[in-house]
Chain A
Amino acid sequence: MTGAGMLFWVQLRRDLGQILLWSLGIAVLYWSQAVSVESLYGTPQEFEEAAASMEGNAAFVAMTGPARALDTVGGQVTWQSAALGSVLVALMVMVLTGRNTRGAEESGRDELVRASPVGRYSVVTASVLEAMTASVVVGTAVAASLIAYPLAVADSLALGLGLALVGWCFTAVTLVAAQLTAGVRATYGLVGALLAAAYLLRAVGDTTGSWVSWASPIGWYQAMHAFSGVRWWPLVAPAAATAGGLVGAYVLLRHRDHGAGLLADRPGPSRAGRCLSGGGGLAWRLHRGSVAGWAGSLFAAGLAYGSIGDDVEDLLGDSEMGRTLLAGEGVDLVAAFQATSLLMLALIASGFTVSAALRMKSEEIGHRVDPLVAASLSRGRWWAGHALVNLAGSAVVLGAAGIGFGLGYGTTTGHWGRLAVLVPAQLAYLAPAMVLAAWSWVLYGLGTRWAVLAWTGPAVAVGVGYFGDLLDLPTWLQALSPYEHLAQVPSESFAWLPLLGTSVLALLLAVGGLWAFNARDLD
């Protein structure tokens, strides 16, 4: 462990700005719920009515968490923020831990550090401590902002502490993943899949009221019941999981060589196959693993959401008032739930689309474009190869989600015909996905350093999709998300015009992006 302390401070100083930004963002997420809930409902009666309608809406429950004490500000904050806050804190520790361990090892930076008098476990220990500290900083910021609001102190502390422990859990998860995989990209892929699984398990558990939520760190956090009779004992679960994961990761670390994953690289073909030809062939080769991973995950997610079936009706029970408030008299609640679910799956799939669009940037800054261009592949063709594979890959990922959803619904209810509605409805989201891709290409066309801003696309889309209805966001703000313009099939009937408009927007942005890329220097 020699040198771990010093490494910890060096890394912390480098990442401090990023950690504070995450903390601020997540604290604002929690705090703004409290503010908006109070400004949204004028009278206690309005508040109660709205709470009753939310409680009965399975789509909302699947998105956020178990509906508890929704007629209180604290209850609303917990309900609306806990799941998304968990995802964000998990992404933060994933990036921090992944980059400082496997990322440094892959790039060769780690070798220089390890050649100096530091212990075998020092880098890993410093990185883990940093991520755990960052989680505590985030938790503290959340708790402090809620106490300052002011909400009940004990419950606010519970929300902060629980969130920090979710961060600890995913720190351990990332560290294990970093030992198993040989590249930081694969590490992120594995952690992302596990995070999606955690989110999904609690969604299924919460909508069906089953034990499944207890298989998820996010479920443990929500089981603390902040602002609805807070209890502390569920914290044992994330604490134990963190300890177990860390021990496992250190054992794995001791058994592997520096630079290697647990699975050794096997020799491959000494000649290229027929498909590995031209810009498109190479792009497909580079993206296919990620397409398969995302398609598999979203198929599973669709299956899980679809298998909720018609239970949505049961959730409402006798709450006639809730039914009326939610959708008006005589509206198909199952259709409303399905439309929201398809949108959510599409929003998750946008993660694939944007990360695939950013692949061009990492290829360029890795200087892997130069040999291709020097071998007479034009820039435009190289770009087009990646863009087409992105389009096709996004279609595959969305298709997998839609098919999964339809199959899940069909097996539960026997209504197989619904597949013919659900799959095209899911595929229609290819148009807004391509708007986000094209937005990424525009930024990338301006220069590699702007490309990271591409994540503003999914951030706006998820923000609007998630909070748009809950918080009654202004129309112009909702209109910023390309996902908001399509007809919400199957609860609304399909419309061509918005789909065409969105597609044309994507095309125009894409052309602009290509033009800008062709006009600039390559890094």
Chain B
Amino acid sequence: MTDDLLTRLLGPADPELGCEACFDELDRYVEVELAGDDADAAVPGMRPHLSGCPACAEEHESLRDLVAGQT
């Protein structure tokens, strides 16, 4: 509970993308991720943003699951 609260209040410690850049890179990030490659190296700043932005995290999960279900 407290750790989760701290995460939500303080956000990611590492440098992150903004929402716009996250949307721009989301399709590439998901495909790299589903290919089993290092998506966080391919798109630096994406993982911290997804941990700090619930809306972008939801959209990432949706795209990942949708594409995973069709390949």
Do A and B originate from a single complex?
A: no
Using a CB–CB distance below 8 Å, which chain B residues touch chain A?
Answer: none
Using a CB–CB distance below 8 Å, which chain A residues touch chain B?
Answer: none
